[in-house]
Structure 1
């Protein structure tokens, strides 16, 4: 992300900031973005630097909501905020103080 995490922020505050960064990155990359800020699952993987296969496996294990309705030629989509929330939930407390 653009700046180190503030250990005084809540998970949802960090996720809100991270979702803004991810949304800007998705726009810069020219990804399809739904009106409610969903992107294709494969594009979500690209946003956080993961392979599609690894990302799909982690999503299946995480319980993050994936929309089957699709959109923009994507079969499955994920809300950018949900992606950010999941990503920020992986931050270990020791990493936040660094």
Structure 2
């Protein structure tokens, strides 16, 4: 029962991270849209600040979840850590591709 509960939490956390990466992609594309320029020059900096705050919050969430898993699960620790590393790399690739795409569209 404990493994099923942990698995559900893991997939819920993974969906939250995917949602954060999609939100970050949308923020970057809206801020760096050249067809509709921002009103002031500070809008670009503010949008990127919000984006990086979202990324930092996501990284702290990953670290907290990692420590929670290690604390409560000793037997299946390696499998869950492999899943977490894979999800972290996936989010980094998605966000990196979004930033690169936004900068190339300028």
Q: Which has a greater percent of strand?
A: 1
The TM-score, its normalising length taken from structure 1, stands at 0.33
Question: Which structure has the bigger radius of gyration?
Answer: 2
The TM-score, its normalising length taken from structure 2, stands at 0.31
Q: Which has a greater percent of helix?
A: 2
